[in-house]
Chain A
């Protein structure tokens, strides 16, 4: 499953509804901006970012003209590495899977490249998204980090095998205890399976061989035949596992074996403080604590001491303010969640509230309004988020060697009035606001071409018939229709 993005090829292949005139194709462009926020040391006034073959080769001050490369010259704009969405369930046709333990699934098969969500993300200056299965499972699919541009999932992929989704919180219709039992059992099931595999090998049974052939692997191939001792630090480490050729391990079981061996990350979702302890216990017992990222919702922040002690990073839920009613006086008390984690020096990333308006920039700005320092707030949606995904060498900063992603904004990324004007991904200009019809509609009310009401006199036609559904984000009082 090894993949490598070849940006040069992409520049020709990738076309989308938002596609804009790509910069010409000798593979080298220079972006000049009045202000460069690198997230990698100090800001640069009048800086230039050079991207060659999809990678950043230079980030420096200096207004010297670059004759050897295509130039995007915008002294009035602010260059920024772009935002990193550290965890999301969106962008797939449906986020949830009925199977409770399904680590063999891959969100690759659910991601919908033409989903508007990606277009909206690009419009908000997001350059990387960690797509993970929804929380209605015990052990879910393998996630994937993608960029919000490309006609195929492969085009979009930044990192396949981005990690397994694990849910420690209770699900609808299930008690917390059931979930805990099922989660622990999912690991003992793998252990039992491996023990049986070992015994079958000793007994000379060939069921595993036949299954491997059925799944399309030749167990006699050298790389499949070779056995390896169990790696990782799981308490249930198996002795003598090296007698089993790795090609015999069932594809369905393999992802969890990789998790236990420390070769895969885990995004463990917690719906509240009570599930944090289960998450940490399962990760410790099965040896993948060092590869764990907690995805927190509800009052999970109350377990901050346990999280700090475990040393795992966290992705905070979209709602950053926790409100609780004092049982004595009936008043509501608020806790600003990111401050709790900043106070304990736990590394944290934020999630968007929604893709189109209160996106990552707004979440980071809100952190500043609650007293976090600007550097930490910005990092939680850029560099820290990238580091948590172990993509710090690819996205989240403007520095030589990283992917050629640059977002040009009309002002400070955290201000109410700044807008994303251009987005360059892997050295290719993929977004230009002046050519974005949906931005025109949202910002200026210009209806998209082809909309039903175009050209019709509105005296005769209800301009919005067929659009009677209330908007998703409508905070107005909702009433159900009786008929």
Chain B
């Protein structure tokens, strides 16, 4: 109803109307398969831009990306990828029996009917990393999955149990009770300090190398140390980022780990707000980061400072980075807004696009399927009514696996 009214206004103001959206095709039916879609500009996510590009789709995969098509949309980008989406990261995703619960998988805890998936889809996000809430030091195995598709987590999963998630800093100790003060109860846990969190991490690694922990835990942590699964560590402030990097470098140097081939962890630091303060350290260690959402004041949680030029500074230092909206689909804070904010800090458009598509896909080993528009990859497309990441444009339709899953056009 409202959109029809808007159309009428536009007609009424036709004289003053500056054309933002090109003539668009008829609104499509959600759920239908799309065989091809075209736009004025197709950004493939590999650095290429095709003017008047057409993406041909068959069997849910991209058949070809070529030029010379009509212009149904202003722009097409790969469906966006968010490694910090926090989908399903609720308190009930935290197993409270232990601080290190590496063997647990959140696959069974995710709800395909949750409202967060649709919100993410509407903001153009088609692939996310779903992690447990960071209330444990090592929370468990996480899923790379699509935000739309069948109502089944299994069917939507791109890579199952491919990332082991944990956290540094304050957060994993936040709900734990101290030994003094209020009497501790059945649920009281350790650690209660930053140093305690660090000790839990190093203890978990060392117990694994020494064969001192329980079989299932050990098996999962071994995979992480061997680099068979990605190790995602949430660390917001400089001190926590340094702690994470030093913990990894210790493993790489110690004979105990090297002799068993446990010195090859593939670490990604998530929510690394202050990574820009340690660019050399990160460049030296080759550890990529995911930035948390930019805030109004520049301050994020844990008191970290995240200025607008953080992403561009990391780029200049050669640190691989991705952007994240932490699951927000709202018009003022979604992933496109984060890319725009990074651009306002000097990040070039191409780099901003990579940071929300191909880079995050690569960091979790999903780049064979998602993150760019190339032949043979999943047909996950975000369709825009203007230049991507500008606040004057937005995602107006989304295709996942070749199926139109949302169409918000008038």
Residues of A within 8 A of B (CB): 301, 320-321, 325, 330-332, 334-336, 339-340, 342-345, 353-358, 361-362, 365-366, 368-376, 414-417, 419, 441-445, 447, 458, 462-464, 467-477, 479, 481-483
Chain A proximity mask over B203-226: 1 for CB below 8 Å, otherwise 0? 000000000000000000000000
The residue from B237, B296, B393 contacting A358, defined by CB atoms under 8 A apart: B296
Closest to A481 in B: B174
Contact A344 B301 (CB under 8 A): no
The residue from B181, B307, B391 contacting A441, defined by CB atoms under 8 A apart: B307
Contact A471 B176 (CB under 8 A): no
Contact B8 A368 (CB under 8 A): no
Closest to A478 in B: B301
B328 at the interface (CB under 8 A from A): yes
User: In whole Å, how far is A358's beta carbon from the nearest beta carbon of chain B?
Assistant: 5
The residue from A340, A354, A361, A471 contacting B299, defined by CB atoms under 8 A apart: A471
Report, as a range, how many residues of chain B touch the other chain. Answer: 35 or more
B20 at the interface (CB under 8 A from A): yes
A193 to B159, CA, bound (A): 75
Chain A proximity mask over B155-172: 1 for CB below 8 Å, otherwise 0? 000000000000000110
Contact A372 B9 (CB under 8 A): yes
Given A357-B341, A362-B332, A372-B6: A474 and B238 within 8 A (CB)? no
- Given A369-B394, A474-B300, 13 more contacts at CB 8 Å? A301-B2, A334-B122, A336-B3, A340-B2, A343-B4, A371-B20, A372-B10, A414-B392, A415-B391, A442-B297, A444-B309, A468-B302, A473-B296
Closest to A461 in B: B239
The residue from A339, A357, A441, A447 contacting B296, defined by CB atoms under 8 A apart: A357
Contact B390 A442 (CB under 8 A): no
Contact B299 A467 (CB under 8 A): yes
Closest to A462 in B: B239
Nearest 8 A-B pairs (CB), nearest first? A343-B5, A445-B307, A365-B391, A339-B6, A464-B303, A416-B340, A467-B303, A375-B16
A361 to B13, CA, bound (A): 21
Which A residues lie within 8 Å of B307 (CB)? 441-445
Given A369-B391, A370-B394: A354 and B119 within 8 A (CB)? no
Given A354-B296, A444-B309, A469-B303: A336 and B6 within 8 A (CB)? yes
Which B residues lie within 8 Å of A444 (CB)? 307-309
User: In whole Å, how far is A385's beta carbon from the nearest beta carbon of chain B?
Assistant: 17
User: In whole Å, how far is A343's beta carbon from the nearest beta carbon of chain B?
Assistant: 2
Contact A375 B3 (CB under 8 A): no
Contact A445 B276 (CB under 8 A): yes
Which A residues lie within 8 Å of B328 (CB)? 475
Chain A proximity mask over B379-406: 1 for CB below 8 Å, otherwise 0? 0000001100111111000000000000
User: In whole Å, how far is B43's beta carbon from the nearest beta carbon of chain A?
Assistant: 16
User: In whole Å, how far is B18's beta carbon from the nearest beta carbon of chain A?
Assistant: 5
Which A residues lie within 8 Å of B182 (CB)? 482-483
Mostly helix, strand, loop or mixed at chain A's interface?
Answer: loop
B353 at the interface (CB under 8 A from A): no
Which A residues lie within 8 Å of B90 (CB)? 477
Contact B171 A475 (CB under 8 A): no
A345 to B6, CA, bound (A): 10
The residue from A339, A376, A472 contacting B5, defined by CB atoms under 8 A apart: A339
User: In whole Å, how far is A300's beta carbon from the nearest beta carbon of chain B?
Assistant: 13
Contact B21 A371 (CB under 8 A): yes
Given A342-B6, A464-B304: A443 and B309 within 8 A (CB)? yes
Given A441-B307, A475-B326: A321 and B331 within 8 A (CB)? yes
Which A residues lie within 8 Å of B18 (CB)? 373-375
The residue from A301, A414, A441, A471 contacting B295, defined by CB atoms under 8 A apart: A471
Given A443-B345, A470-B301: A373 and B16 within 8 A (CB)? yes
Contact B293 A362 (CB under 8 A): no
Contact A445 B305 (CB under 8 A): yes
B111 at the interface (CB under 8 A from A): no
Given A369-B393, A374-B18, A479-B175: A464 and B13 within 8 A (CB)? no
Chain A proximity mask over B1-29: 1 for CB below 8 Å, otherwise 0? 01111111110110011101100000000
Which B residues lie within 8 Å of A343 (CB)? 2, 4-9
Mostly helix, strand, loop or mixed at chain B's interface?
Answer: loop
A458 to B333, CA, bound (A): 32
Most central of A343, A353, A463 by chain B CB within 10 Å: A343
Which B residues lie within 8 Å of A332 (CB)? 115, 118-119
Closest to A466 in B: B303
B177 at the interface (CB under 8 A from A): yes
Most central of A320, A330, A477 by chain B CB within 10 Å: A477
Which B residues lie within 8 Å of A445 (CB)? 276-277, 298, 305, 307, 309-310, 313
Which A residues lie within 8 Å of B277 (CB)? 445
Most central of B9, B21, B170, B330 by chain A CB within 10 Å: B9
Closest to B386 in A: A369
Contact A417 B343 (CB under 8 A): yes
Given A357-B296, A464-B303, A475-B328: A365 and B390 within 8 A (CB)? yes
Given A332-B119, A415-B392, A469-B303: A443 and B3 within 8 A (CB)? no
Which B residues lie within 8 Å of A443 (CB)? 307-309, 344-345
B83 at the interface (CB under 8 A from A): no
Contact A476 B301 (CB under 8 A): yes
Which B residues lie within 8 Å of A369 (CB)? 20, 331, 385-386, 391-394
Which A residues lie within 8 Å of B133 (CB)? 477
Given A369-B385, A472-B297, A477-B89: A330 and B308 within 8 A (CB)? no
Which A residues lie within 8 Å of B330 (CB)? 321
Most central of B2, B238, B304 by chain A CB within 10 Å: B2
User: In whole Å, how far is B11's beta carbon from the nearest beta carbon of chain A?
Assistant: 10
B257 at the interface (CB under 8 A from A): no
Which B residues lie within 8 Å of A476 (CB)? 86, 271, 292, 300-301, 326
Given A339-B5, A458-B238, A464-B237: A371 and B392 within 8 A (CB)? no
B294 at the interface (CB under 8 A from A): yes
B186 at the interface (CB under 8 A from A): no
8 CB-based A-B contacts, threshold 8 Å: A343-B2, A343-B9, A366-B331, A366-B392, A368-B20, A445-B305, A472-B295, A476-B326
A476 to B2, CA, bound (A): 32
Which B residues lie within 8 Å of A470 (CB)? 300-302
Closest to A339 in B: B6
Which A residues lie within 8 Å of B305 (CB)? 441, 445, 447, 464
